[in-house]
């Protein structure tokens, strides 16, 4: 004999459980609506990558500071531990980086890979720079390199069917974990 499950309507408040097993990700709405994106290409208060290093590491989600670049958590991660390596200087194009900035970004990227490997044991990584809005850069005015840890089976139906990613770790917790292991792992 099979038990019949009756679907009850959702409650009045968003996020109330119901038979549809919705995954509520309200933090994504900020990204969809363009919050934290500069309205122009100029440096300044509107750029989140210019803002992050001038506040505390905790408030700016900065994992590590280099001489000419820094590592920060991605506010809208593709996977847990998604990091961005950014030059301090507000610059849009890779070809405009100085040799010293290139070196610092490359070394910080290596350190990010070592730290994430030690802390999270991903099976692989996606590394990349989306230069220009048409290439997918959410913040086109300030160059940044993505360091995205990947695990076997980490892509499932959610991004395809629901345009949603399930991230099982808070950004502040991931920042604390990675920052706490950075020096130890990169001696």
Q: What are phi and psi of 14, to 5 degrees?
A: -60, 140
Give the residue numbers marked as catalytic.
144
Query: HSE (CB half, 13 Å, CA atoms) of 50?
Result: 18
Q: Do you know the residue count of the chain?
A: 187
Cβ count within 10 A of residue 97: 18
Residue 149 contacts residue 114 (beta carbons within 8 Å): no
Looking at residue 98, what is its pLDDT? 98
136 Cβ neighbours under 8 A, 6+ residues apart: 130
Looking at residue 51, what is its pLDDT? 94
Q: Collapse the DSSP code of 100 into the 3-class scheme (helix H, G, I; strand E, B; otherwise coil) and give the result.
A: helix
Residue 75 contacts residue 61 (beta carbons within 8 Å): yes
Q: What is the pLDDT along the chain (187 residues), one digit of tens a residue?
A: 555 555 555 555 554 455 555 555 565 565 555 565 555 545 445 799 999 999 999 999 999 999 999 999 998 888 889 999 999 999 999 999 999 999 999 999 999 999 999 999 999 999 999 999 999 888 999 999 999 999 887 665 445 444 555 566 778 888 988 999 998 999 8
The model's pTM: 0.72
Sign of CA dihedral 139, 143, 149, 155: positive
Fold of 42-185: HIT family, subunit A (3.30.428)
154 Cβ neighbours under 8 A, 6+ residues apart: 79
Q: What are phi and psi of 172, to 5 degrees?
A: -65, -40
């Amino acid at each position: 004999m099979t038990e019949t499950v009756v679907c009850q309507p959702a409650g009045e408040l968003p996020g109330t459980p119901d038979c549809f097993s919705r995954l509520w990700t309200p933090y994504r709405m900020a990204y969809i609506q363009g919050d934290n994106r500069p309205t122009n290409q100029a440096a300044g208060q509107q750029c989140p990558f210019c803002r992050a290093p001038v506040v505390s590491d905790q408030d700016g989600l900065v994992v590590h500071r280099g001489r000419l670049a820094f590592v920060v958590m991605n506010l809208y991660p593709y996977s847990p531990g998604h990091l961005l390596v950014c030059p301090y200087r507000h610059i849009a194009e890779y070809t405009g980086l100085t040799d010293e900035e290139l070196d610092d970004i490359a070394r910080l990227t290596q350190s990010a890979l070592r730290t994430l490997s030690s802390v999270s044991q991903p099976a692989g990584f996606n590394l990349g720079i989306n230069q220009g809005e048409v290439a997918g850069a959410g913040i086109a005015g300030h160059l940044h390199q993505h360091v995205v840890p990947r695990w076997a089976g980490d892509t499932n139906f959610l991004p395809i069917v629901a345009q949603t990613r399930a991230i099982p770790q808070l950004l502040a917790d991931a920042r604390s974990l990675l920052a706490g292991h950075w020096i130890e792992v990169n001696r």
